[in-house]
Amino acid sequence: MQAQHTAIPSEEEQQISWKSPSNLAIIKYWGKYGTQFPRNPSISFTLSNAHTTSTIRYAKKPTPSKEVHLEFKFEGKENALFKTKLLKFLESIKSHFPFLTEYNLLIESENSFPHSSGIASSASSMSAIALCLCSMEKSIVGTLQEETEFLKKASYIARLGSGSASRSVYPSLAFWGESERMAGSSNEFAIPYTEKVDPVFLSFHDDILIVSKKEKSVSSTAGHKLMEGNVFADARYQQANDRMDSLLESMRTGDLETFGKICEDEALTLHALMMCSDPSYVLIEPQTLSLIKEIRNYRAETGHPVYFSLDAGPNIHLLYPDHIASEIESWKNNVLQGFCLDILTDHVGKGPQKLSA
Ligand code: PMV
Q: What residues does each domain of the chain span?
A: 14-196, 199-344
Average pLDDT over residues 101-110: 97
Contact yes or no for 154/127 (Cβ under 8 A): yes
The pLDDT tens digits for 285-317 are 999 999 999 999 999 999 999 999 999 999 999
For CA atoms 231, 232, 234, 237, the dihedral sign is negative
CA 320/CA 341 separation, integer angstroms: 21
Q: Which helix (H) or strand (E) holds 224?
A: helix 220-226
Pocket test for ligand 1, best of 35, 46, 127, 164 (most atoms within 8 A of CB): 164
> How many whole angstroms from 126 Cα to the centroid of ligand 1?
12
Picking from 297, 298, 30, the residue whose alpha carbon sits closest to that of residue 164 is 30
Question: pLDDT at residue 163 above 70?
Answer: yes
For the Cβ of 311 lying below 6 angstroms from any atom of ligand 1, the answer is: yes
Contact yes or no for 124/111 (Cβ under 8 A): yes
For the Cβ of 29 lying below 6 angstroms from any atom of ligand 1, the answer is: yes
> How many whole angstroms from 40 Cα to the centroid of ligand 1?
12
Atom of ligand 1 nearest to the CA of 122: 4
Instruction: Return the DSSP state at 152.
Output: H
Beta strand segments in the chain, E: 14-27, 32-33, 37-38, 42-60, 69-74, 77-78, 103-111, 173-176, 190-192, 205-210, 307-310, 316-320, 342-344, 353-354
pLDDT band per the 50, 70, 90 thresholds, residue 113 = confident
Sequence-ordered list of residues with C-beta below 8 angstroms from that of 275, at least 6 positions apart, any chain? 281, 282
Picking from 324, 326, 322, the residue whose alpha carbon sits closest to that of residue 348 is 322
For the Cβ of 47 lying below 6 angstroms from any atom of ligand 1, the answer is: no
Mean pLDDT, the chain, rounded, equals 94
Q: Looking at this protein, which amino acid is placed at residue 64?
A: P
For the Cβ of 135 lying below 6 angstroms from any atom of ligand 1, the answer is: no
CATH 3.30.230.10 assigned to domain 14-196? The reply is yes
> How many whole angstroms from 312 Cα to the centroid of ligand 1?
7
For the Cβ of 163 lying below 6 angstroms from any atom of ligand 1, the answer is: yes
For the Cβ of 28 lying below 6 angstroms from any atom of ligand 1, the answer is: yes
The pLDDT tens digits for 16-39 are 999 999 999 999 999 999 999 999
For the domain spanning 199-344, the CATH number is 3.30.70.890
Question: pLDDT at residue 278 above 90?
Answer: yes
Beta bridge partners of 190: 176
**How do 353-354 and 14-27 pair as beta strands?**
antiparallel
CA 357/CA 345 separation, integer angstroms: 30
> How many whole angstroms from 328 Cα to the centroid of ligand 1?
28
Contact yes or no for 295/308 (Cβ under 8 A): yes
Instruction: Return the DSSP state at 104.
Output: E
Atom of ligand 1 nearest to the CA of 162: 1
Residue 196 has φ and ψ, to the nearest 5°, of -65, 130
